[in-house]
Amino acid sequence: MDERQKNILKEIVEGYIKEARPIGSKHLCTKFNCSSATIRNEMAALEKLGLLEKNHISSGRIPSEAGYKYYVENLMQPKELTGEDMLKLQTIFSNKNLVVSEAIEQCLEIISDITNYTSISLGKASNENFLRQISIIPLDEEHLVALVCTDKGIVKNKQFTISKNINIAEVIKTSELINKMLIGTPISKLAERLEYEVKPVISKQIKQYETIYDIFYKAFNDFISSKENFHVVGKTKMLEQPEYNDTNEIRRLITKLEDENEIKKIEKNNDDKALSIYIGKETEFDDNVTVIKTNYAVGGQKGTIAIVGPKRMEYDKVVGLLNTLNKWLEEKGE
């Protein structure tokens, strides 16, 4: 491929990303100061190479999956974040009160807003986590949330429904006793110590200790058994793109974004790159999307952050955003 063909491919990819409609020779003639016949010949050559596809409803061309791939690997330049977008992320990065999992979840919200795509985090808990605190948050007379936090910044919560005759004050008192006795305990040892050390103590101080004990046992057991966690933000954002205007297509993609097993496919095709781009069939998640993701390892917590959008994604913007996020995660991990 010569330089003119590369520039034409770049113009078609970026034009189609921006306009969401096939790019014709007329637009390119003006841009490259060439005759219509010359441009059509170059477009035909790019189509023969498998980098462009003919659109059935017009004479214009659109990028193929291979065309997008060549563009991101050879022609694209990551776009720097605007000052406004950078400030949004810096507000989170500079907040020392946020643990890692909380910061990542807040980042997902901002990423989804900036890109108008779906953002996902898939995390793995380290075996070296120790209990930092368990907190009880009453929601009303019959519902409460048990919040478990580790020294590595991993936070998990579990909601419980309790009977009206359970005294919330006694539940909170039990959490205070557990914190006194178990802070610094390896997560893997919590259930054992709760049973043999804490239960005998609360049986003497808490009236309905069996029922209340069960709340904490389930909260810890859920934490221990959950080796992975994922968080999805902006499920419907990418479906606002014109390629997803079919009701059946929308339903199909939403179903996938709500399915834990489908989401985990995003992590399957992992590699050692700081940032990876998978287009269409490469994603293993869905043939009609692009997945751009980065891996992180911060404070004993490992995981993946992914952005899911149409194949007609603003690659330069997303890559620039994830590069910024990656840099912050690296600094956080030092």
pLDDT digits (tens, 9 = 90+) for 67-89: 999 999 999 999 998 999 889 88
Secondary element (H or E) of residue 219: helix 209-225
Which pLDDT band holds residue 126 (cuts at 50, 70, 90)? low
* pLDDT recorded at residue 191: 86
- Percent composition of the chain: helix, strand, coil (DSSP 3-state, to 5): 55, 20, 25
Whether the predicted pLDDT of 57 surpasses 90: no
**In 125-200, which ranges are E strands?**
131-138, 143-150, 155-161
For CA atoms 23, 26, 27, 30, the dihedral sign is positive
Which pLDDT band holds residue 58 (cuts at 50, 70, 90)? low
Class of domain 3-75: mainly alpha
122 touches 269 (CB < 8 A): no
Class of domain 83-125+228-333: alpha beta
The CA distance from 269 to 263, in Å, is 12
Percentage of residues in the chain having pLDDT higher than 70: 92
Surface-to-core class of residue 97, CB atoms within 10 Å of its CB (0-12 exposed, 13-18 middle, 19+ buried) = exposed
List the chain domain ranges: 3-75, 83-125+228-333, 131-225
Closest of 290, 295, 325, 298 to residue 122, by C-alpha: 295
The pTM of this model reads 0.72
Q: What is the CATH number of domain 131-225?
A: 3.30.390.60
